[in-house]
Structure 1
């Protein structure tokens, strides 16, 4: 993964943390977000990372596995979250489904050649994960069609939903506060009896 890809990965949670702080949240609030089966996310991340470094694993079907693992994790966790955080989770889910559908229908994530050219990438290049869209591409609008010139990247509408959902989920989770007994209040009550 190159530096631009890393920025795209880190930017949404970092923006969410900044917004969370501006709205009075704290990173400690993230501890109150109930998360189960984190191993699914770690497995998805490991498969995704392996695709970058192990040539035989650069098969588009493995991207569907990555999306499937993330969707499974979301399905296991959505019911334990507040409504607002669930909405953010649903945005991430829809984004992942849109990306997965584009890949499943085309074998690779299609990208718009003019968008690639607009950010300085060579249009027409086919990689293990991407291919230029053409007249035979199914649901090309779900592919990488949105140029991000500062990063020389092209992203999909699904990527935008995943990013926005991650920003919202992080900011909202930072504002979570479980009803915890105040140790100082208990000491005062204990001293009064």
Structure 2
């Protein structure tokens, strides 16, 4: 999961620089409530790595507890962002909603055993966050069905939207630097005949 959280923004960083942007572009957009993302990440990590938290809080309850601050952060920020950055944010929200639906209906994120095998993983394993998809799995096409063999991962369509949105958001924010820093020439040709 760390790969899906860290790699897309780093890819966006590289893409942003390749397109002539700079980190200073983030100053051109207002980002409020960043602490909400850190809170969500901390809660997610605690649920995954601290057995006592998993015992005390059900998967569905934790799903709501983790997604609420992320969606709150996006709602607070989306309205004020430029159109391209807003579209990237909406892709992230849509991906999160698709994942939430799959997890909410099944208790954990279902994954395709065939996709797990194709990615080099052992199929049939149940983890604190994942369960193999079976006949009773609801909306299995929203689960982890896409194998990524080089990373030994299986991801969902929602994960792809979140990753793509994260990458685009960073790259587009960095490009705001170019628009803010390039001086605008209003009258490049002298007026009044003085050449």
Aligned equivalent of 1:119: 119
CA RMSD after TM alignment: 1.6
Aligned equivalent of 1:128: 128
1:56 partnered with 2:61: no
What is the rounded CA distance, in whole Å, between the counterparts of 1:6 and 1:105 in structure 2?
A: 24
> Structure 1: which 5+ residue stretches go unaligned?
183-193
User: What's the CA shift for 1:47?
Assistant: 0.2
Aligned equivalent of 1:139: 139
**What number of residue pairs does the alignment pair up?**
177
User: What's the CA shift for 1:45?
Assistant: 0.8
1:1-193 pair list within 5 angstroms: 5-58=1-54, 59-61=58-60, 62-177=62-177
What is the rounded CA distance, in whole Å, between the counterparts of 1:96 and 1:8 in structure 2?
A: 13
What is the rounded CA distance, in whole Å, between the counterparts of 2:18 and 2:12 in structure 1?
A: 10
> Do the aligned residues in 2 keep the contact of 1:64 with 1:103 (CA within 8 Å)?
no
**Secondary structure at the counterpart of residue 94 of structure 2:** helix
**Secondary structure at the counterpart of residue 110 of structure 2:** strand
What is the rounded CA distance, in whole Å, between the counterparts of 2:69 and 2:111 in structure 1?
A: 24
For normalisation by structure 2, the TM-score amounts to: 0.86
What is the rounded CA distance, in whole Å, between the counterparts of 2:175 and 2:106 in structure 1?
A: 40
- Which is worse superposed, 81-90 or 171-180? 171-180
Runs of 4+ in 1 over 6 A off after TM superposition: none
Q: Show CA shifts across 1:46-101 (max 9, x none).
A: 10111232113234121332122211110110011000100000000000000001
> Structure 2: which 5+ residue stretches go unaligned?
184-195
What is the rounded CA distance, in whole Å, between the counterparts of 2:112 and 2:33 in structure 1?
A: 36
What is the rounded CA distance, in whole Å, between the counterparts of 1:38 and 1:174 in structure 2?
A: 17
